Amino acid sequence: MKAADLAGLRGRLAEFLEELTPDLGRAERRRWAETYIRGLLLDGDRKSVEPMAARLAVIDGTARDYEQALQQFVNQSPWDERPVRDRLARHVVATLPPGGFLILDDTGFPKQGDRSVGVARQYSGTLGKVGNCQVAVTLQYATGREVCCLDAALFLPEAWADDRARRAAAGVPEGVGHEPKWRQGLGLLARAKANGLSGVVLADAAYGDATEFRAELDREGWTWAVGVGAGLSVLPADVDLGPVPPPSGRGRPPKRPAAVRAGLKAPGVGAWCAARTGDFRRVTWREGSRGKMRSRFAAWRVRPAHGLSAGKAPGPACWLVGEWPEGEETPTKFFLSNLPPASSLVALVRVAKSRWQVEHCYQQMKEELGLDHFEGRSWRGWQHHVTLVLLAYWFLVLARREAEADAQKKGCPGQASRKSGGRSNGSSSAGRAAAPSAAGPSSSRIPTPGAVETNG
């Protein structure tokens, strides 16, 4: 964002932070929070402390040592990020409509060396390969018009969890250890629910393949649609496995049908879909920037059967959605969902394919706000930096909403991106933050299950 645009936003930024950062404590701490966020919002290739401090000192016309002050605020100051993120979540609840999507995902932060907290050679979807990086699990809330990142958890590889000296040097709190990403995701969802968030949970196969993850979503009452790998086993929802045998009077009473025994096989979802070629039909799920997004899909009621060969009973009935693009030899993507049994195919597809907004959010938080630019090594510094980026991004979403509302009142919605005086203009971050809504209000709407749907 240009310095002139940011100057026009200073008043609204101060009001925004007054509402969301009272838990920081002292007034001086809140002032440096505003300064740091202004550094994130300003144009510049790097959003680490040193270049941000240099830009801010020039703009503010001060000889004060901004670099030292910002370093202390983000790396050493003992403020707790959790109350700030909780306030952010509640602010999102009060601002955006209910019934959106809660998207779990993870993103990588490429790093040099081995001293930054959580860094290791590990797979990152950002890199598309194994590389030296940090990885964070994130939770985003998306409606048909906006997307906001609510929370993030730093993934701690096992090598870190087992190295007490390394953990202590990075300031990792006692009790924080290695957890699989799907379990970290459940923690983010639990906090979101406590702050009033609701909606359909979406995640890719890195989460959906975990039987325990899907089972916990069911126990917590979430509606969900998650990707799964081709090898996940399923059985027809109406499969008859026979009754559970009556107690014999010896040992524990039986809990599974007699037909469920070690060695019993079930097809993977890839084989299941490939064997049902005639069920696939063309579905359009949204309007993209290059036209209608469409492919071939089919859906069936199934029971997940992971562990069946070891004698474990299949899970409760749910939907299996398969995607088989034209020109591909076999189906390519698979989803499980507990959407209601009456859901239409188009409704299932639109929900399952609604994770696309997460990439827009990552791109803007990294390219515009420096999410992955933090150069400190500590746990506290990483948590503080990420929290301030989350606030900066939400502020931009709100600025865009206000600019659009102003333009609509004047009867010229096309002018929103050209508003001056700090409202989003074509060269500012606020203007670029509008990208998630480019597909229009219907892009990620949850269709009413069972309703009549039409394809383009």
CA distances to 76, 260, 395, 455 from 321, rounded to whole Å, are 49, 25, 37, 17
Cα–Cα distance for residue pair 139/107, rounded to 1 Å? 11
Q: What is the DSSP letter of 144?
A: S
Q: Which residue has the tokens 């040592």?
A: 65
Predicted pLDDT of residue 252: 75
CA distances to 40, 180, 204, 212 from 421, rounded to whole Å, are 19, 46, 41, 51
CATH class of the domain defined by 96-239+257-359: alpha beta
Indicate the pairing of strand 199-203 with strand 223-228: parallel
CB 448 within 8 A of CB 351: no
Q: Which residue has the tokens 């089919």?
A: 298
Cα–Cα distance for residue pair 64/48, rounded to 1 Å? 18
User: From the DSSP assignment, how many helices (H) and strands (E) are in the chain?
Assistant: 15, 11
**Please, what sign has the CA dihedral across residues 151, 30, 394, 373?**
negative
Beta bridge partners of 288: 291
* Cα angle for residues 83, 139, 96 (degrees, 5° grid): 80
CB 294 within 8 A of CB 282: yes
The radius of gyration of the chain from alpha carbons, rounded to an integer in Å, stands at: 24
Q: Which residue spans within 242-327 are E strands per DSSP?
A: 281-288, 291-304, 318-323
Domain ranges of the chain: 3-82+376-432, 96-239+257-359
Q: Cα 113 from chain centroid?
A: 27
Query: Which is nearest to 391 in space by CA: 30, 145, 2, 48?
Result: 30
* Cα angle for residues 18, 22, 24 (degrees, 5° grid): 120
Residue 421 neighbours by CB under 8 Å, 6+ apart: 5, 8
Q: Cα 157 from chain centroid?
A: 20
Q: What is the DSSP letter of 55?
A: H
Residue-by-residue pLDDT tens, the chain, 456 positions: 899 988 888 999 999 999 999 999 899 999 999 999 999 999 999 999 999 999 999 999 988 899 999 999 999 999 999 999 999 999 999 999 999 999 999 999 999 999 999 999 999 888 889 999 999 999 999 998 899 999 999 999 999 988 999 999 999 999 999 999 999 999 999 999 999 999 999 999 999 999 999 999 999 999 999 999 999 999 999 987 766 667 766 777 766 666 666 556 788 999 999 999 999 999 999 888 788 999 999 999 999 988 776 667 789 999 999 999 999 999 999 999 999 999 999 999 999 999 998 998 999 999 999 999 999 999 999 999 999 999 999 999 999 999 888 888 887 655 544 443 333 333 334 444 433 333 332 333 333 333 334 443
What the block records as the tokens of 370 is 């420096």
**Amino acid, single-letter form, for residue 150:** L
Beta bridge partners of 335: 227, 321
Predicted pLDDT of residue 434: 38
Predicted pLDDT of residue 428: 39
Cα–Cα distance for residue pair 378/89, rounded to 1 Å? 25
Q: Which residue has the tokens 């049902």?
A: 276
Residue 120 neighbours by CB under 8 Å, 6+ apart: 114, 132, 133, 157, 159, 160
166-170: long-range contacts, CB 8 A cutoff, minimum separation 24: 169/115, 170/115, 170/116, 170/117, 170/118, 170/377, 170/378, 170/379
Query: Which is nearest to 262 in space by CA: 310, 312, 314, 315?
Result: 310
**Please, what sign has the CA dihedral across residues 6, 7, 9, 12?**
positive
CB 312 within 8 A of CB 263: no
Residue 219 neighbours by CB under 8 Å, 6+ apart: none
Q: Which residue has the tokens 């860094």?
A: 119
